[in-house]
């Protein structure tokens, strides 16, 4: 049974009630009965019926035809006229309202039911078609592609706004024209930019598969050449009959420009415009792979600006960047190929020289060096000369790799800097300096592998209180060892210098901190090392100035659940004094978590007690150089006494290192030193549980 809502508009009350009864018997719901046109419009607003049965002759100012016309225009609802009038004039007027049915009184139930049923069906179909049309229009207006529809006669019948924008013509200007009238497509990949002819609807190939085009130029109405791509597809009905063509076209101009910009930025340094390290390495690879004998001689020049950090710190980044740009301009003038010059790092540049021989190459490098030195940077009355350290490596063999070639030039540049800077150094594989440098570089590889393969081990050495009545617990210092690939232990003195020189200490320190916290936690749970209540972890100078280290340590405490009060960080006197501001901030921030700090090797550096006033450390570790001979050297004995006394006056506890015999322990106790550390106290033992 039906359940649609019907509004009955009939001014004869008896007829209206009879009609309501019939409709309800059919299963419809009569939502209201109106006797006049104005009332009918109000009832539509109130009840939102699905269909209206309207008498034409109604009492009031407007009749049924006028009311139906208003309802159609405002509410788009179907109206069926129920009337006794069938004269030509009435019929012509009724057509204006576009009724979905016209029934003459008197009518039969079946006639009424059929007309309503068909009207509702047609209304639903019509609404669905309108909905689909709205969706289609919205899609056409929102997609990124321009759409042009062509009929069976090859003439344009539709354009969406994107197509109008691409070709520069409006839809009304193009209706009835052909695609050939408005489109000029050229092949970008062809050197002569040959025209591309779109297939017509008469060709069978277009009816089987779409015709696609890429890398094309389209010249629009305004003479602009746009980079476009797209496709032309046939529209076929269910039986395969041809109904027209649809051209989809996309403007790729902005995308291509963006792609070119991205390609440029991924291959060039944003500040200087020189190639970046990756592109430079590709150029080196190509040169290395040139089959011997080479017609030309090639040299790799590695350039480092001397004292650039001073410029950066003194004048600021903007002025320092200006220096980098000026250096790059000079380098570019010596480069025969745009990709033969590059910015390799912060203040480091690379240049490939092409010359007849090595002698000519060195002459060019000397000229380059002089060009740098002629320039200067002025800032607020200060003058900074463009001094540079330059390393040179000749390409003598195809057996070398790009990384080895770069390393040779880098080695030469490094040694030029080590010797005072503002000079040129040529790589010499047999030279003692280069062999030593190469040995240190090999340690970098070894350290990287050891970190990757987890071949570092931690040891702990007890730091024992000398007066257990004052301090009943022992401390422990974490010491690092490395296992080589054969399983042999390597002492830190062998690898730490290389790690410090090549900025690997931050990595190593982070590994030590993470591993030490984890293993010490395990000992506490297992009850082992019960006599050690606090452990000390050494921090390198690089870690003290690294922005990420502070957050890393705090996060390790959070993740592990460890108590910061059980951890002390050891820092050296010399490193701390050379970075007093950052060291003070670092110590202060970490002490807020509960950690303590020890100043290691105190007395061996500047030996100025004045610095202690500004450092919130908790322990002074007296340098072992004084401790190990204090029983034989009265000066060292006096030095320890002075450090211990001053440390206590400042509220700090003291730790004596390198304690190697009972006599020294006794003398330290007499002086009131708080802790002792050394082989006489305890040898280092593995921290990891066996």
pLDDT range class, residue 607, cuts 50, 70, 90: very low
Q: At 64, which helix (H) or strand (E)?
A: helix 64-75
Considering only residues 93 and 434, tell me which one the structure prediction assigns the higher pLDDT: 93
pTM of the predicted model as reported, rounded to 2 decimal places: 0.47
For the packed helices 432-452 and 402-418, what is the interaxial angle rounded to 10 degrees? 120
| Residue 9 · residue 54 · CB < 8 Å | yes
Q: What is the pLDDT of residue 295?
A: 64
- Among 197, 232, 257, which residue terminates a domain? 257
Query: Do 336 and 253 have their domain in common?
Result: no
Examine residue 452 and state whether it is found in any structural domain, yes or no.
Answer: no
- Does the residue 59 lie in any domain? yes
Backbone dihedral angles phi then psi of residue 297, each to the nearest 5 degrees:
-100, 135
Query: What is the pairing mode between strands 456-465 and 474-483?
Result: antiparallel
Residue-by-residue DSSP string for 219-248: E-TTS-EEEEEEEEEEEE-TT--EEEEEEE
Main-chain dihedrals φ then ψ at residue 194, nearest 5 degrees: -65, 145
SS3 290: coil
Res 190 pLDDT > 60: yes
Both tokens of 127, joined, read: 């609404």
What is the H or E stretch that residue 383 is in? strand 382-385
Alpha carbon 157 to its chain centroid, in Å, reads: 46
Cβ neighbours, 10 Å, residue 688? 14
539 found inside a domain: yes
- The CA–CA distances, whole Å, from 351 to 66, 361, 579 equal 89, 11, 35
What does the pLDDT look like over 10-44, one tens digit per residue?
Answer: 988 889 898 999 998 888 999 999 999 899 999 99
C-alpha pair distances (Å), 608 with each of 74, 117, 483: 94, 105, 38
Choosing from 116, 139, 162, the residue where a domain stops is 139
Phi, psi of 260 (to 5 degrees): -65, -40
**Number of independent structural domains in the chain:** 4
Token pair for 183: 């489109």
Mean pLDDT in residue range 298-322:
86
- Does residue 197 sit in the same domain as residue 280? no
Over the chain, what is the mean pLDDT? 86
Task: Tell me, yes or no, whether 273 and 415 share the same domain.
Answer: yes
The reply to whether 273 and 408 lie within a common domain is yes
Residue 331 lies in a domain: yes
Indicate if 250 and 287 belong to the same structural domain.
no
What distance in Å separates the CA atoms of residue 584 and residue 150, rounded to the nearest whole number? 77
Q: Is the model's pLDDT at 673 over the cut of 60?
A: yes
Rounded to the nearest 5°, which phi and psi values hold at 163?
Answer: -65, -40
Dist CA 174 CA 274 (whole Å): 49
Cα separation of 116 and 105, whole Å?
A: 15
Could you give the maximum distance between any two Cα atoms of the chain, in Å? Answer: 139
* CATH number for position 97: 3.40.50.2300
pLDDT of residue 542: 85
Measured between alpha carbons, how far is residue 517 from residues 28, 313, 546, 685, 688 in Å? 80, 36, 20, 16, 11
Long-range contacts of 251-255 (CB under 8 A, 24+ apart): 251/146, 251/165, 251/166, 251/226, 251/227, 252/226, 252/227, 252/228, 253/226, 253/227, 253/228
Assess contact for 491 and 481: CB atoms under 8 A. Answer: yes
Among the listed residues 670, 643, 638, the one whose alpha carbon sits nearest the alpha carbon of residue 654? 643
Total residues belonging to the chain? 690
The percent of residues in the chain predicted with pLDDT above 70, rounded, is 91
The domain boundary, picked from 224, 257, 290, lies at: 257
Query: Tens digits of per-residue pLDDT, 198-257?
Result: 877 777 677 778 888 888 888 888 888 888 888 888 888 888 888 888 888 888 887 777
Residues 6+ apart with CB under 8 A from 371: 330, 333, 334
Do residues 330 and 372 lie in contact, with contact meaning Cβ atoms separated by under 8 Å? yes
Tens-place pLDDT, residues 68-113: 999 989 998 999 999 888 888 888 888 988 999 999 988 888 998 9
Residue 584 buriedness (CB in 10 A; 0-12 / 13-18 / 19+): middle
CATH of the domain at 174: 3.30.450.20
33: phi then psi, degrees, rounded to nearest 5: -125, 125
C-alpha angle 137-141-146 in degrees, rounded to nearest 5: 115
For residue 542, being part of any structural domain is answered with: yes
Same-domain status, 154 and 293: no
Span 64-70, mean pLDDT? 92
Same structural domain, 585 and 608: yes
Residues 249 and 359 placed together within one structural domain of the fold: no
Domain presence at residue 412: yes
pLDDT of residue 262: 66
Which pLDDT value is given to residue 294?
Answer: 64
Tell me, yes or no, whether 558 and 619 share the same domain.
Answer: yes
Q: List the CATH number of the domain containing 305.
A: 3.30.70.270
Query: Within this chain, do residues 284 and 392 fall inside the same structural domain, yes or no?
Result: yes
**Residues with Cβ < 8 Å from 503, sequence gap 6 or more?**
542
In a domain, 440, yes or no: no
Weakest-pLDDT range from 127-131, 195-199, 343-347, 436-440: 436-440
Domain that holds residue 207: 143-257
Nearest to 301 by CA among 363, 386, 394: 394
Confidence class for position 630, pLDDT limits 50, 70, 90: very high
Q: Name the strand (E) or helix (H) holding 410.
A: helix 402-418
394 and 302 in a common domain? yes
Hey, which bits of 28-74 come out as E strands? 29-34, 51-55
At 66, list the tokens. 């006028």
**Euclidean distance between CA atoms 315 and 382, whole angstroms:** 9
Q: Say whether both 559 and 643 belong to one domain.
A: yes
Q: Which of 646, 648, 677 is nearest to 664 (CA)?
A: 677
Q: Confirm whether 611 is domain-assigned.
A: yes
Confidence bin at 618 (pLDDT 50/70/90): very high
């Amino acid at each position: 049974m039906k359940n649609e809502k019907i509004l009955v508009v009939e001014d004869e009350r008896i007829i209206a009630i009879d009609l309501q009864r019939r409709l309800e018997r059919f299963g419809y719901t009569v939502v209201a009965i109106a006797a006049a046109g104005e009332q009918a419009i109000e009832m539509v607003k109130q009840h939102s019926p699905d269909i209206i049965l309207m008498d034409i002759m109604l009492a009031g100012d407007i009749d049924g035809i006028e009311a139906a016309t208003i309802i159609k225009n405002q509410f788009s609802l179907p109206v069926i006229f129920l009337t006794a009038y069938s004269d030509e004039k009435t019929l012509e007027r009724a057509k204006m309202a576009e009724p979905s049915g016209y029934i003459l009184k008197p009518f039969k139930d079946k006639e009424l039911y059929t007309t309503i049923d068909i009207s509702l069906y047609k209304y639903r179909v019509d609404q669905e078609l309108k909905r689909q049309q709205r969706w289609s229009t919205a899609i056409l207006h929102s997609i990124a592609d321009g759409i042009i529809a062509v009929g069976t006669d090859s003439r344009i019948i539709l354009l969406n706004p994107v197509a109008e924008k691409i070709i520069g013509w409006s839809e009304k200007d193009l209706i009835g024209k052909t695609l050939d009238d408005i489109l000029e497509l050229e092949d970008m990949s062809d050197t002569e930019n040959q025209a591309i002819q779109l297939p017509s609807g008469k060709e069978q190939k277009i009816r089987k598969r779409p015709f696609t085009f890429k890398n094309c130029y389209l010249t629009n109405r305004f003479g602009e050449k746009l980079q476009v791509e797209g496709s032309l597809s046939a529209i076929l009905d269910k039986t395969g009959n041809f109904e027209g063509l649809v051209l989809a076209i996309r403007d790729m101009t902005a995308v291509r420009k963006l792609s070119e910009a991205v390609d440029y930025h991924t291959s060039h340094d944003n500040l200087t415009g020189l190639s970046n390290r990756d592109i430079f390495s590709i150029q080196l690879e190509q040169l290395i792979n040139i089959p011997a004998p080479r017609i030309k001689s090639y040299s790799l020049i590695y350039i480092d600006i001397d004292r650039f950090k001073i410029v950066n710190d003194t004048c600021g980044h903007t002025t320092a960047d200006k220096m980098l740009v000026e250096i790059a301009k000079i380098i570019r003038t010596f480069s025969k190929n745009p990709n033969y010059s590059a910015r390799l790092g912060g203040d480091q540049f690379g240049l490939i020289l092409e010359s007849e021989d090595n002698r000519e190459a060195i002459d060019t490098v000397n000229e380059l060096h002089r060009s740098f030195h002629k320039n200067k940077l002025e800032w607020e009355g200060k003058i900074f000369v463009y001094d540079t350290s330059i390393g040179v490596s000749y390409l003598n063999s195809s057996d070398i790799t790009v990384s080895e070639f770069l390393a040779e030039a880098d080695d030469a540049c490094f040694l030029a800097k080590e010797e005072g800077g503002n000079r040129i150094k040529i790589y010499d594989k047999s030279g003692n300096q280069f062999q030593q440098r190469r040995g240190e570089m090999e340690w970098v590889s070894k350290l990287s592998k050891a970190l990757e393969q987890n071949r570092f081990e931690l040891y702990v050495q007890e730091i024992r209180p000398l007066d257990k009545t004052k301090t009943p617990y022992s401390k422990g210092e974490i010491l690092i060892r490395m296992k080589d690939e054969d399983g042999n232990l390597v002492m830190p003195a062998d690898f730490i210098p290389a790690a410090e020189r090549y900025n690997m200490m931050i990595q190593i320190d982070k590994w030590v901190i993470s591993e030490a916290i984890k293993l010490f936690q395990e000992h506490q749970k297992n009850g082992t090392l019960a006599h050690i209540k606090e452990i000390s972890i050494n921090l390198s100078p690089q870690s003290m100035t690294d922005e990420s280290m502070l957050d890393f340590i705090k996060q390790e405490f959070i993740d592990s659940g460890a108590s910061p009060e059980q951890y002390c960080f050891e820092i050296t006197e010399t490193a701390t004094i050379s970075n007093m501001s950052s060291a003070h901030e670092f110590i202060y921030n970490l002490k807020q978590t509960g950690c303590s700090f020890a100043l290691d090797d105190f007395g061996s550096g500047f030996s100025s007690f004045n610095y202690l006033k500004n450092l919130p450390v908790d322990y002074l570790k007296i340098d072992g150089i004084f401790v190990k001979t204090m029983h034989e050297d009265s000066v060292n004995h006096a030095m320890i006494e002075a450090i211990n006394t001053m440390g206590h006056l400042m509220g700090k506890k003291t730790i004596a290192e390198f304690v190697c015999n009972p006599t020294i322990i006794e003398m330290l106790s007499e002086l009131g030193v708080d802790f002792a550390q050394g082989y006489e106290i305890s040898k280092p033992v593995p921290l990891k549980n066996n």
